Each structure stands twice: as structure tokens, then as C-alpha cells.
Amino acid sequence: MCGLGLFAFLRETRSSDLVEPGMWLIGLGAMLSIVGATCLATQARQPHPVAPPHRGRAALIALWLVANYPLAGVLVYQSIDLLSAVVLQVENRSGGPLEFFRLSGPGFHMEEAPFPRAGQVTVEFHPSHDGVLTYDLRLQSGELHSGTAIGYVTPGLGFQTSFTITPAGEVISGD
């Protein structure tokens, strides 16, 4: 239960400080599942039955421990998915709306048109292969700007960053 709570908090805040304790708790849950499976297997092979109330309670505890195993697997899979995502927060501080703002990268394409004045968008994606993340934007005056937003992205290596669009049409990294 502690692992679930920590995972939910990690999912919402994306706090990298919680990754290690969360993985330890999930690992502990997986180990408890093995203990539960062992308890079930040894109880099933006992030649003489234990007192019915104790046997039923022990079986329920063992089943509860075994139920942790698939849950731990799902949480580990979700954690890997969460930690391998590239999360970008883009903020328009150009002083006016943009006709469009486009991000393109390896296996990823996103366009926001029109992009409102003082607007903000959060983008999450998983790169399909190594590559560069580029941007294109058109200011309200009609000026077209393009460039490299992130010089290198790769599958499995997630991070968070923010970008600000300046009045000159430049995209500046906040991190």
C-alpha cells in the first residue's frame, strides 16, 4: 500500500527524488509475493490439516501477498513508462498570439494553432529513436522562426524541461 501511495504521488509530481524509494517498495512487494506463493505451496502439501480457522486465515494472507506480484509488475512497467517520457512545458511570452507552434522529433509531431497569448501547453512523448527535437513558429506579424529545441533525445531516457517563446520569436530553454 505504501508503494501504491508513493507511486501515485510520483505520477502526479514527477519528482525524481521518489524514484529510488518507490522502486524499493515495489521490489519489497514483489518479494512478499514470493513469500506468499511459498506459503501457499507449503500449506497445500501438508499431509495433516492445520486447525481450520488458522489454515483459512493463513491462506488469505498468502493470497493477499501473491496478489502483490502482478500489482508490483504493473507499477514497475508504469514507472519505466513514466521515467522514459520527455515532458516539455511551452509558454508563450511573445506578447501576442502565435499563428502556430510546431514541435517535431523522432516519432513525434505536435502542432498548436493558434497558440494563445500567454498560453501554456504541456507535451509528453516517448521518442521512437535517437534524434533532434525541432520547432517552427509563426508570430502574429507573420515572421516565421525555426530551430532546434533539444539537441538530442533518445528512447528510454526521459526528462522534463520548459521553453519560453520570447517577443523576438526565439525559443529559450528554462532548465
pLDDT digits (tens, 9 = 90+) for 27-48: 777 777 777 777 766 765 665 5
How much is the average pLDDT of 108-120? 86
Q: Where are the domains of the chain?
A: 2-83, 86-173
Q: For the full predicted model, state whether its pTM sits above 0.75.
A: no
Residues with Cβ within 8 Å of residue 5, at least 6 apart in sequence: none
Distance between CA 78 and CA 138 in Å, rounded? Answer: 37
By the 8 A CB rule, do 29 and 1 touch?
A: no
Q: Can you name the residues that pair with 159 across neighbouring β-strands?
A: 86
52-83 helix and 2-13 helix, angle to the nearest 10 degrees = 20
Reported as a single tens digit per residue, the pLDDT across 60-103 is 766 666 666 677 677 777 777 777 888 888 999 988 888 989 99
Fold of 86-173: Immunoglobulin-like (2.60.40)
12-19 — which CB contacts under 8 Å span 24+ positions?
14/82, 14/87, 14/160, 19/79, 19/83
| Helix and strand counts by DSSP (H, E) for the chain | 3, 8
pLDDT at 53 over 60: no
